[in-house]
Amino acid sequence: MGWFDWLLPDLAWQSLTPELVILLFAVLAPLVALWDADRRGMRQFTLIGMGGAFLLSLGSLLEWHFSIPGTGYNFTLEYQGSSLNGAFVVTYASQFFKVLFTAVGFLAVLGVGRPLKGRAEEDFGEFCSLLLFATLGMMIVSSAQELLTLLLGVEMTSMSSYLLAGMRRDRVGAEAGLKYFTIGAISSGLLVFGISLLYGMAGTTHIPDLARALTAHGSFDAISLVPIVMILAGLGFKISSVPFHAWAPDVYSGAPTPVAGMLASGSKAMGFVALFNVFLVGLPGLKTNWQLLVALLAAVSMVVGNLVALQQTNLRRMLAFSSIAQAGYVLIALAVGTSAQDGGVYAVGGGLFHLVVNAAMKLGAFLVVGAVLSAGVGDDLGSWKGLGRRAPILGFAMTLFLLSMAGFPPLAGFASKFVLFSGAVDAATTQNLGWLLGLAILAILNSALSLYVYLRVLRTMYVEEGEEGRLVIPPSVTTAVIVCAAFVLAVGFWPQPVLDASFRAARSLLGL
């Protein structure tokens, strides 16, 4: 190991390689942009960074084995390692999420349609660098076993995304950035204050130690409710659950579409990882205090998200509200997580599965909207008339994404919703918790309601007559959309590998 052992003695370097690759590329990106005149190399540079980190995370998840013949040199990528006194821990769960985050980052960069227009061209180096930093923050959160690491990861992603959301050099971009920043700053303030109170109660900020310090006392107590509400508010902003969702429609429609897609998939998944970590690993002893609260948030998010999505005529706003509803579905897993018989593995596994599927379909849908926008068509429902004929591939992919969001049978969204909701029903029947059953029924009713939201778009795209003429779509965007659509189809027909990985990740997340 050599001299850096002395510098940073407690660092498992080998398990940190995906993060180090992303960090290196993020730091170098603005420099590379100085040399790269037409910005084409910039995209390739970022794709190499994201792709490299993706392969390293995937390799460690699947434990790829390398050996160079003749030299006897053997090498296995693995997912073990604990750094910085257990503040940064590499587990199966953390690598599972890193695969998701780097994949989202890769596809988001690939899906940048026309960054090369107007003055935004000058910013593409910074854009790529910030996207890499946002991904790095998410990866740190997925490995965080300490509230400090978790906070720093969340803030790293947040601050990069404030700037990414305000990247457009016009009034809309400025407003989106400012709105995201103000609401984000408020919620991070609450998050820090909540953590400070939790530290005062437990005397530690190490998440597994929190669970030991705050053991069950069974009864409801008002004091611990204060930090719980504050932390829920701080992280509820990242997942855009209902009382903290006001920024989502504005930011999603003002930000560049790949960024909006990243916020609705990767950044949202990061919020859930943080929530699962804090509440299921750190605070299971206080579950009488937070369980009903989380269930309430889940119910309100589903209902408000879907009902408001019904009234939207702007596609990006509709996707934003549908993304709020999806946050409600996954929150069910958090509410169920501690009350199921097998320690919540089934429910949490379902939640993680839905996060992965949701990432593919939300990112895909936003990239389709972005591609259509860059081809000169608006993002209000009226201008999408007959779009299915004007852009057949994108139209078909959008159909898959929308039907999958509604939970239509042969697609991925059906499989993930099925596992997620049946986890709640399972917990309700085995633990005799009637309100969980109510939550599951509400979720199923909401899925039915949401079908109307999405079918309305499909009707506009295929049945109604509009302008004619094929749209010109950049090939890189089409590639990214096809990857997302293929994932949605493949997982729909053959969910087993992803499902197994999700359950294994849930088990590793819960420390079972």
Residues that bind other proteins (CB under 8 A): 148, 151-152, 155, 159, 162-163, 166, 170-179, 181-182, 185-186, 188-190, 192-193, 195-197, 199-200, 203-205, 249-250, 253-254, 308, 317
Distances (CA, A) of 272 to 59, 71, 334: 24, 45, 9
Is 321:449 a contact under the CB 8 Å cutoff? no
Residue 498 Cβ, how far from other proteins at the closest point, in Å? 34
Q: Which is nearer to other proteins, 50 or 176 (CB)?
A: 176
Closest listed residue to residue 255, CA positions, set 267, 242, 272? 267
Residue 310 Cβ, how far from other proteins at the closest point, in Å? 13
Closest listed residue to residue 98, CA positions, set 44, 147, 61? 61
Question: What SS3 state is found at 409?
Answer: coil
Residue 162 Cβ, how far from other proteins at the closest point, in Å? 6
Q: Which is nearer to other proteins, 121 or 170 (CB)?
A: 170
Query: Residue 319's Cα: distance from chain center in Å?
Result: 15
Residue 86 Cβ, how far from other proteins at the closest point, in Å? 13
Is 294:129 a contact under the CB 8 Å cutoff? no
Question: What SS3 state is found at 66?
Answer: strand
User: How many residues in the chain?
Assistant: 512
Question: What SS3 state is found at 314?
Answer: strand
Q: Which helix (H) or strand (E) holds 208?
A: helix 207-213
Question: What SS3 state is found at 511?
Answer: coil
Query: Residue 205's Cα: distance from chain center in Å?
Result: 24
Q: Which is nearer to other proteins, 87 or 439 (CB)?
A: 87
Q: Which helix (H) or strand (E) holds 260?
A: helix 257-262
Q: Which is nearer to other proteins, 262 or 428 (CB)?
A: 262
Q: Which is nearer to other proteins, 190 or 356 (CB)?
A: 190
Q: Which is nearer to other proteins, 263 or 442 (CB)?
A: 263
Q: Which is nearer to other proteins, 161 or 289 (CB)?
A: 161
90 φ, ψ (degrees, to nearest 5):
-100, 115
Residue 137 Cβ, how far from other proteins at the closest point, in Å? 12
Q: Which is nearer to other proteins, 82 or 204 (CB)?
A: 204
Q: Which is nearer to other proteins, 166 or 388 (CB)?
A: 166
Q: Which amino acid is at 170?
A: D
Pairing mode, if any, of strands 65-68 and 73-76?
A: antiparallel
Residue 177 Cβ, how far from other proteins at the closest point, in Å? 5
What's the CA gap between 415 and 206, in Å, rounded?
Answer: 35
What's the CA gap between 251 and 74, in Å, rounded?
Answer: 48
The half-sphere exposure of 394 on its side-chain side, counting CA atoms within 13 A, is 28
Residue 134 Cβ, how far from other proteins at the closest point, in Å? 12
Strands (E), 77-225: 81-83, 88-90
Residue 218 Cβ, how far from other proteins at the closest point, in Å? 25
Residue 196 Cβ, how far from other proteins at the closest point, in Å? 4
Tokens of 483: 């990857």
Residue 194 Cβ, how far from other proteins at the closest point, in Å? 8
Q: Which amino acid is at 485?
A: A
Considering just the CA atoms, what is the radius of gyration of the chain in Å? 22
What's the CA gap between 105 and 239, in Å, rounded?
Answer: 17
Residue 332 Cβ, how far from other proteins at the closest point, in Å? 25
Q: Which residue has the tokens 């003429």?
A: 469
Q: Which is nearer to other proteins, 192 or 482 (CB)?
A: 192
Tokens of 52: 């490299």
Q: Which is nearer to other proteins, 45 or 252 (CB)?
A: 252
Residue 461 Cβ, how far from other proteins at the closest point, in Å? 23
Q: Which helix (H) or strand (E) holds 492?
A: helix 475-493
Q: Which is nearer to other proteins, 120 or 444 (CB)?
A: 120
Read off the DSSP letter of residue 8: S
